[in-house]
Structure 1
Amino acid sequence: MDRDGIQAAADPLGRAMLAHHRGEPGTLVYRDGAATQDGNVESFYFSPSESWDRATIECLERLSDCEPILDVGCGAGSHLLWWANRGVRAVGVDASPNAVLTARERCEGCGTSRQSGEAAERGLEDVLVGDMFDLPVPTGAFGAVHVVGTQLGLGGSLAGISKLLREFARVTADKATAVVDNYDPTRLDDGFFGYRSDPREGIAHRCFHLEFEGEGDDGERYREVGRTLQFLLCSPARLREVAADTPWHVRDVLRPDGMAHYRAVLGKGSTQNT
């Protein structure tokens, strides 16, 4: 175990978040073969909410009426902080131990670190290390699930995305809401970082891994290389098809005109798609 009680393992993104939070030097890159892309840790995970686009705020506001919220892949905890500052109950889960540590440190003393009586009765904690395919939370405990950062694509296949949606259904109450996001392959080309084509309409793939170079307590430089991440990219039409075989249906698709990235608002308790 390291000085923070977190098991030492390849966790480049989490290490980058923790280093940035603590003001320590480090560099994160995405790598696909010889191609690299700046990890942009500050802008992706620590930007002030005043700089967020209106679509992001609207989604957070929509979910605020469905508390408690489960933020899957909560990263450095920016959305947890946004909700906590507005008195909204939310729990974070992330596969990265160092991202969870970062989120916990950032959330200390704010609303998200103080459970309500109802949350305590349900056995909910604030920020947890966990696998989104087997979430470490009780069945039916949440009114909403928030899954952004295109993590839905880590299902790797349409069947994998269906499996994820069913797990999100397990941990939510009847008539719950979920927000997920992805990239629409019909609006992408080979210039998109990590892009892999697929012969199926509305389907593509994205592959890359992350590398972090930091500095240890002894001043020595170290490098962590993460596993290769394989995302399934699917169009909103494909997502509707997948959701139709789960307890969810697509209520709305939100995206700026012409953009490949989109958010989908999912609902339970009805088979009526919009």
Structure 2
Amino acid sequence: MADPFGRALADFHHDEQDEPLVQRDGEWAREHPVEAFYFGTFDETNQRSKFIESWVDGPVLDMGAGVGRDARYFQDRVETVAIETSDALVETMRERGVEDARRGDMFALRESFGRDRFRSAYAWGTQLGLAGSMDGLREFLGDLAFVTTPDATATLDCYDPERVEDGEMLGYRADPTPGLAYRVMHFEYEGTVGETLLFRLFGPDRLREAAADTDWRVAEVEHTNEVHYLAALEKAG
């Protein structure tokens, strides 16, 4: 399967990225900020980092770890497992010093890990939307509950569709249902077009609704700007 996203990040790591990684939805296209988004350091002083660190305990699972920016920080403090679906990204993480980087899918956790494997987990990059539907979100949360301990926590970041202005977000598709929307886009790199990505955007109330049908409850929600929010979950029991 074509992997323009993973190849672009791997090329940047090797100082071989000569063309931009492009996000596209029809005629709307923009360069994806590879260095700024993935190759910085874990900044303990910013809102996002302080939020995630306050909920992390080990062992921790980094779901959709990119090139391992956060995993490299946490592995010096607790046992950290970083998963990615891209072979190129897994190899890049290993080259960058991530000690336990594996190929794995956050939407197929039971295939990779046993019950109660982790004390905490996080998914940063809004990839939670790839759950695709409310049922998909419930299934993901159920699987995450299976691979985490009874006292586990999880942190997620999401877009709040009720705060998105029309034309503000690349790929945005409105939905008449309160608290829900879609996002459709793909990546292009060096003439290679990636698969079309369909994200379901869940507002905080929809996340709470889905969690209520699982072992989780939403313990904290914090907006970082008009459209983006952070959510912390803990086991409801």
TM range (shorter): over 0.9
Matched residue SS, 2:78: coil
Counterpart-to-counterpart distance in 1, 2:202 and 2:40: 27
TM-fit CA distance, 1:241: 0.6
Q: TM-score, normalised by structure 1?
A: 0.81
Contact conserved, 1:176 with 1:268, CA < 8 A, in 2? yes
Aligned to 2:229: 262
- Alignment match, 2:65: 74
Alignment-mate amino acid for residue 94 of structure 1: E
Q: Do 2:52 and 2:155's aligned partners in 1 also have CA atoms closer than 8 Å? A: no
Which residue identity lines up with residue 21 of structure 1 in the other structure?
H
Q: Tell me, yes or no, if structure 1 residue 11 matches structure 2 residue 3.
A: yes
Q: Is the Cα contact below 8 Å between 1:189 and 1:195 reproduced in 2? A: no
Between the aligned partners of 1:16 and 1:139, the Cα distance in structure 2 is 35
* Bigger radius of gyration: 1
> Structure 2 residue aligned with 1:56, among 33, 45, 48?
48
Matching residue within 5, 9, 12 for 1:20: 12
Structure 1 pair 53–159 and aligned structure 2 pair: CA distance change class (3 A): farther
- Alignment match, 1:207: 184
Structure 2 spans left out of the alignment, 5+ residues = none
1:162·1:245 contact (CA, 8 Å) conserved in 2?
yes
Equivalent of residue 91 in structure 2, options 101, 117, 120? 101
Asked if structure 2 preserves the Cα contact closer than 8 Å seen for 1:63 and 1:69, the reply is: no
Kindly report which structure 2 residues correspond to 1:39-50, keeping only aligned pairs within 5 A, or say none. Answer: 39-50=32-43
- 8 A contact 2:55–2:232 mirrored in 1: no
2:129 maps to a residue whose letter is G
Q: How many residues align?
A: 233
Q: 1:187 corresponds to which letter in structure 2? A: R
Give the corresponding residue for 1:150. Answer: 126
In structure 1, list runs of 5 or more residues that go unmatched: 1-8, 114-125, 214-222
Please identify, of 192-201 and 131-140, the stretch whose mean Cα deviation from structure 2 is larger. 131-140
What TM-score do the two structures reach when normalised by structure 2?
0.94
Q: 1:218 matched to which residue of 2?
A: none
User: Does 2:144 align with 1:168?
Assistant: yes
Residue by residue, what CA displacement relative to the aligned partner does 1:237-257 show, whole Å, maximum 9, x if unpaired? 11101110011100000123x
Contact 2:188-2:194 within 8 A present in 1 as well: yes
Q: 1:34: how far off? A: 1.1
